[in-house]
Amino acid sequence: MMLWTDSTLAVGSCACPAMIGASIGGGVGRFQGINGLLIDSVVSAEIVTADGQIRTASATQNDDLYWAIRGAGQNFGIITSAVYSMPRQTNKGQIFSADFLLSAEQNASYYDLVQELVESMPAELSTVSVVMWNETTQAVGREVAVVEE
């Protein structure tokens, strides 16, 4: 029996409509270096297809539909539920998360830092970068989150 306290689900980092929305969008998140994308954790899904049929999609049942939703899920029907595998917790669930806000003037140094990280970053360290544009002030903002497990 698996205890819920012993596992961590790789959740996405974007504002999406719930877990399934984040899943079929790939589920890029802070745990992807060690657990993969959120979509990698989907074991099966129940889908209402365009013909009104309710189908279960998994690696062994309607496998063509299962693999299709793993790349473009929103195009094949409405997913009403999903079953996820839960990888074991790393570092006893302890993580360090830091957010950095950088001004537009720091473009060059920011992208140099990202390049350095990509070349040498261990799987336990992940980054999420967001570039923001404020149309009212015509300002560019950037948010960088670094998570170490």
Residue 90 domain-assigned? no
CB neighbour class for 113 (10 Å; exposed up to 12, middle 13-18, buried from 19): middle
Q: Do 123 and 61 sit in the same domain of this protein?
A: no
Domain that holds residue 114: 95-148
- Residue bearing tokens 């990698």: 40
Q: Do 50 and 77 sit in the same domain of this protein?
A: yes
Number of domains in the chain: 2
Q: What CATH number corresponds to the domain at position 46?
A: 3.30.465.10
Q: Do 26 and 72 sit in the same domain of this protein?
A: yes
Distances (CA, A) of 40 to 24, 85, 142: 10, 9, 28
pLDDT digits (tens, 9 = 90+) for 108-120: 788 888 888 878 8
Residue 89 domain-assigned? no
pLDDT digits (tens, 9 = 90+) for 73-120: 778 889 999 998 887 777 777 777 677 777 767 777 888 888 888 788
Q: Do 102 and 35 sit in the same domain of this protein?
A: no
Q: What is the pTM of this model?
A: 0.65
pLDDT digits (tens, 9 = 90+) for 44-65: 999 999 899 999 999 999 999 9
